[in-house]
């Protein structure tokens, strides 16, 4: 298996991402993350041979750049989900949260017909390897606080602020 890696700027700093041989997004990583994981190492552990090929990553790079500039609010790139059936259901639901809006963990659980499963939604969010495109940054605690975010709350704050500014018609990068 091959993974093709690239980087692009975002409102949350530099993003590293990888696509598979079919062009589906398999990984997105905030370089400024609090957790310091190196995406290429993670892919290697999963059995991928990592290469750079801008022609294979162009579509994802273009859509992420459009998001950064405020011209894109949803993503069309194919996504390769790797997780349990529950995680995949939660991640698909996250893609339905509109740009600039938030939902609580409990609201996500309710939408999935699993009232009381807010913690399970939180665990699925924490294992999302496609943040931003699968917008786990739009999920907050029931009391309106930000909750957690893989990479650090400072990145979640930047992404939510970017979306508020775009909706308000303010200039972005």
The distance from CA 5 to its chain's CA centroid, rounded to whole angstroms, is: 16
pTM of the entire predicted model: 0.92
Summary mean pLDDT of the chain: 93
- Residues 5-23 pLDDT 10s: 999 999 999 999 999 999 9
In the predicted model, what is the mean pLDDT of residues 147-165? Answer: 90
In the predicted model, what is the mean pLDDT of residues 101-120? Answer: 96
Of the residues 108, 136, 155, 166, only one is catalytic, namely: 136
- Residues 33-48 pLDDT 10s: 755 567 888 899 999 9
What is the rounded distance in angstroms from the CA atom of residue 127 to the CA atom of residue 85?
Answer: 13
Residues 100 and 52 in one domain: no
The CATH number of the domain holding residue 89 is 1.10.10.10
pLDDT for 147: 83
| 80 is a domain residue | no
> What sign for the dihedral angle of Cα 49, 55, 59, 63?
positive
Residues 53 and 127 in one domain: no
Residues 94 and 158 in one domain: yes
User: Is residue 136 among the annotated active site residues?
Assistant: yes
- Structural domain count of the chain: 2
């Amino acid at each position: 298996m091959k993974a093709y890696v690239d980087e692009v700027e975002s409102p949350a700093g530099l993003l590293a991402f990888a696509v598979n041989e079919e062009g589906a997004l398999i990984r997105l990583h905030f370089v400024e993350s609090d957790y310091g994981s190196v995406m290429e190492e993670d892919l290697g552990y999963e059995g991928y041979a990592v290469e750079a090929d801008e022609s294979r990553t162009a579509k994802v790079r273009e859509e992420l750049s459009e998001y950064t500039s405020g011209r894109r609010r949803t993503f069309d790139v194919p996504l390769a989900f790797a997780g349990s059936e529950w995680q995949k259901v939660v991640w698909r639901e996250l893609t339905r949260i509109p740009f600039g809006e938030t939902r609580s963990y409990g609201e996500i659980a309710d939408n999935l017909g699993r009232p009381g499963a807010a913690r399970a939604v939180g665990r699925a969010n924490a294992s999302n390897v496609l943040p931003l495109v699968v917008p786990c940054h739009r999920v907050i605690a029931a009391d309106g606080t930000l909750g957690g975010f893989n990479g650090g709350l400072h990145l979640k704050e930047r992404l939510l602020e970017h979306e508020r500014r775009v909706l308000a018609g303010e200039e972005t990068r």
